[in-house]
């Protein structure tokens, strides 16, 4: 008999690469609920509080903290321990006055960088663009939808949270500063030297230059984070 609906349990050994946990200590871990991010790109809030930040000793404590409304993601209170957080999200712990930015490490695992100053801005990548009855609709990598906004697939948006207001369009173009999200150079930054257009058989490529080297990667493996410098100040520290 086939199973119905989404599975509720997840073995630690089967957790996505993004979930940076000690897989052999516990048999089970928290399965990220369906949401804006793909499961392989996000980590559940319960894991963040228990294993990353350490404000909770176990899952029970993590749930209690969330129920009290002490945790915000991108300026909005979140109470679900399975809620997934992803790249460049801002996690705030209200009673400790601490904030963290979600980024990747070299192995593409989700990690947190504590912010020195509070931030209400994040960067999102435009993934889809289509025509609707209401106008041009663009959708970002975390599922945010905007009608009538400017931008093309591959460009980035600097967004003010929690309002969800677009503050700046950051174009994917030569000279732009990028953050690499996949591959052997994951978590590194560089500048676009050249964009190689794709064909029916080949994806669009981006030639990237750093201080002492140059290399190529697929366009889908990068996100634009600024023109001459990072559009958000704390991204300079990653």
CA nearest to 117, candidates 154, 152, 92, 80: 92
* 186 and 154, same domain (yes or no): no
| Residue 7, pLDDT above cutoff 80 | no
Q: For residue 2, is it within any domain?
A: no
Q: What is the mean pLDDT of residues 111-139?
A: 94
pTM of the model: 0.88
* 40 and 60, same domain (yes or no): yes
| Residue 24, pLDDT above cutoff 50 | no
**pLDDT, tens digit (0-9, with 9 covering 90-100), for 168-215:** 999 999 999 999 999 999 999 999 999 999 888 899 999 999 998 999
Residue 116: Cβ-neighbour burial (10 angstroms; 0-12, 13-18, 19+): exposed
Q: What is the mean pLDDT of residues 126-155?
A: 94
* 158 and 107, same domain (yes or no): no
**Residue 46, both tokens:** 């319960």
Cα–Cα distance, 171 to 177 (Å, whole number):
10
CB 31 within 8 A of CB 8: yes
The domain boundary residue, chosen from 92, 114, 136: 114
Q: For residue 106, is it within any domain?
A: yes
Cα–Cα distance, 97 to 80 (Å, whole number):
20
**Residue 134 domain boundaries:** 121-170
* 105 and 194, same domain (yes or no): no
* 138 and 185, same domain (yes or no): no
Q: For residue 5, is it within any domain?
A: no
**What CATH number corresponds to the domain at position 125?**
2.40.50.740
Average pLDDT over the chain, rounded to an integer: 88
| Residue 135, pLDDT above cutoff 80 | yes
Q: What is the mean pLDDT of residues 63-79?
A: 95
What pLDDT was estimated at residue 11?
47
Domain count, the chain: 3
């Amino acid at each position: 008999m086939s199973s119905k609906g989404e599975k509720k349990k997840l073995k630690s050994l089967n957790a996505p690469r993004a979930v940076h946990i000690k897989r052999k200590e516990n048999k089970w871990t928290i399965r990220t609920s369906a949401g804006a991010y793909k499961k392989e790109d996000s980590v559940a809030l319960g894991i963040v509080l228990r294993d990353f930040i350490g404000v909770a000793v176990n899952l029970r404590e993590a749930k209690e903290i969330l129920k009290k409304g002490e945790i915000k993601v991108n300026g909005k209170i979140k109470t679900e321990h399975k809620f997934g957080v992803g790249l460049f999200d801002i996690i705030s712990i209200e009673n400790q006055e601490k904030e963290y930015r979600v980024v990747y490490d070299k192995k593409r695992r989700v990690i947190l960088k504590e912010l020195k100053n509070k931030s209400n801005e994040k960067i999102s990548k435009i993934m889809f663009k289509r025509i609707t009855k209401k106008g041009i609709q663009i959708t970002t990598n975390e599922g945010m939808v905007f009608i009538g906004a400017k931008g093309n697939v591959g460009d980035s948006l600097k967004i003010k949270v929690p309002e969800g207001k677009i503050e700046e369009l950051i174009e994917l173009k030569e000279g732009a500063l990028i953050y690499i999200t996949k591959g052997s150079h994951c978590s590194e930054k560089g500048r676009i030297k050249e964009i190689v257009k794709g064909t029916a058989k080949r994806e669009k490529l981006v030639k990237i230059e750093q201080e002492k080297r140059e290399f190529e990667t697929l366009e889908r493996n990068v996100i634009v984070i600024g023109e001459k410098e990072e559009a958000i100040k704390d991204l300079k520290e990653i």
